[in-house]
Amino acid sequence: MRRLLIATALVLALAGCSDRSTNTSSADEPSTSASGAAANADFGTLKNVCHSGSPKAVTEQGVTDSEIKVGVFSDIGFTKNPEFVDAAKVFTSWCNAAGGINGRKIVPVTRDSKLMEVQQRMIEACRDDFALVGGGAAFDGLGVKARLSCLLPDFPAQSGPLNALGADLQVLAQGAGVGYAPYTGYYTWLIKEAHPDSAQHVGVISGDVPITKVIAEQVKELIPAIGGKVAYADVYPAAGVSDWTPYAQTIKSKKIKGLIFNGSFNELAKLEQALTNTGYQLDWIDTNNNAYGPAFLQLAKSSLAKQNNYADLSGVAPLEQAADNPATKEVQDLFAKYAPDAQVTLPALRSFTAWLLFATAAGECDDLTRKCVYENAMKQTEWTAGGLQAPMDLTKVTNPPKCFNVVQATDKGWTVADFKPDQGSYRCDIPAYKYKGSYGKPMTLADVGKSMADLK
């Protein structure tokens, strides 16, 4: 989870900030009921997620007798990537067609943070929204203080900087796992089972920005703790690399067999081409799950037959298994119906799990309040989003991650790797690792002079 947003942040940092538009947050057209019969209110194993009702009059911010206004953070004005906005459109269109949240329609409002305008959009969300749902911003940490000061609950698709991930009033559908290494199972499988000869020959290359450098330090703590050795560590310039040959030659000379890459998959594709050109094949490359999608396959197509590329989806069901997983197939069908030109991506799937968590928690409230929704979400002990992900205990942000699942990029496309799942599509038998180093901590209500008693 963290790696996905960190890699995204690096992509944005490399792109620069000169082309941001001047628009502020904008209210999307409210999703309305589809014509004809009401939509099926069930999703996967979840029953009656959205339905009609007779909502009580309330005085909550962002809530009326007929609507619930929620904010969706996105850097769309900078990245031009609409995946969180698309997911909001699809989910709310389906939910509203089924009757909404006890009869109230959900109105998603895009909070376009344009990379560096997180705080400005958060102030607007504090003024107008009931909650934040299904979004993410590369530098979301810039808005945490304002969010906690106005007691705004957050159900993000993803969260990155350490002061934001696991902060108070945030419920992450995949679990925050504060204090724990998120990829312990994955790396243990790579160096002990899939490619044991690589264990003492692991390399790490990271973009030269603070976030990815912190991740590199965490990796350098984790790998020795699980029986490996980081034999090479390097950074590459934030502006990108014109010639990756020197890096490839260093990797070859140091006999590195496994490579963890924290950065843009565009740059990774160039590095892999340089490695292939030098005639050197690694046992494995961790692309990070930001590469999971068709773009990396296209960029790296000349090297995919030579290099073994893996990504850990951290317990989210892969699109490649949609035919065998009704919940994933249902997301694809809903996208085809409500946003046929949009692409279903890993962040979009994570956004959908967040929307399902919010709707389920809100639907159980007789009186719709922030406190009720937040507390209901925190009661989930085995949240699977109807089958979109491995079970996760959300009752504490410090609950460690349990399960992982691995996909592999090949010249024929992304496929599910042979990682020996033991619980359905996931593997959950490798103990979690708690960091011993200090890498920052999430912000709390106490940091802004508040407490849970202030949440109403």
**Does residue 146 sit in the same domain as residue 276?**
no
Output the CA–CA distances (angstroms, integers) from residue 226 to 67, 191, 222, 382, 401, in the order listed.
50, 9, 6, 27, 16
Residue 122 C-alpha from the chain's centroid: 19
| Residue 98 confidence class, pLDDT cut points 50, 70, 90 | very high
pLDDT at 30: 42
Residues 177-233: pLDDT tens digits? 999 999 999 999 999 999 999 999 999 999 998 888 999 999 999 999 999 999 999
Residue 270, domain CATH: 3.40.50.2300
Q: Is there a single domain that holds both residue 61 and residue 158?
A: yes
Residue 197 in any domain: the answer is yes
The number of domains in the chain is: 2
Claim to verify: residue 175 and residue 195 sit in the same structural domain: no
Query: What pairing do the DSSP bridges indicate for beta strands 413-416 and 258-262?
Result: unpaired
Residue that is last in its domain, among 397, 426, 445: 397
Structure tokens at 75: 């850097």
Q: Are 168 and 60 within one domain?
A: yes
Name 390's Cβ contacts closer than 8 Å, sequence gap at least 6. Answer: 315, 316, 384, 402, 403, 405, 423, 424, 425, 426, 428
pTM: 0.92
Expressed as residue numbers, the domain containing 295 is 183-313+402-434
* Shared domain check, 156 and 50: yes
Q: Residues 295, 361: one domain?
A: no
Cβ proximity of 39 and 94 under 8 Å: yes
**Quick one: 299 and 331 in the same domain?**
no
pLDDT in tens, 78-92: 999 999 999 999 999
**358 and 416 assigned to the same domain:** no
Task: Measure the N-to-C terminal CA separation of the chain; round to a whole number of Å.
Answer: 30
Q: Identify whether the C-beta of residue 455 lies closer than 8 Å to the C-beta of residue 370.
A: yes
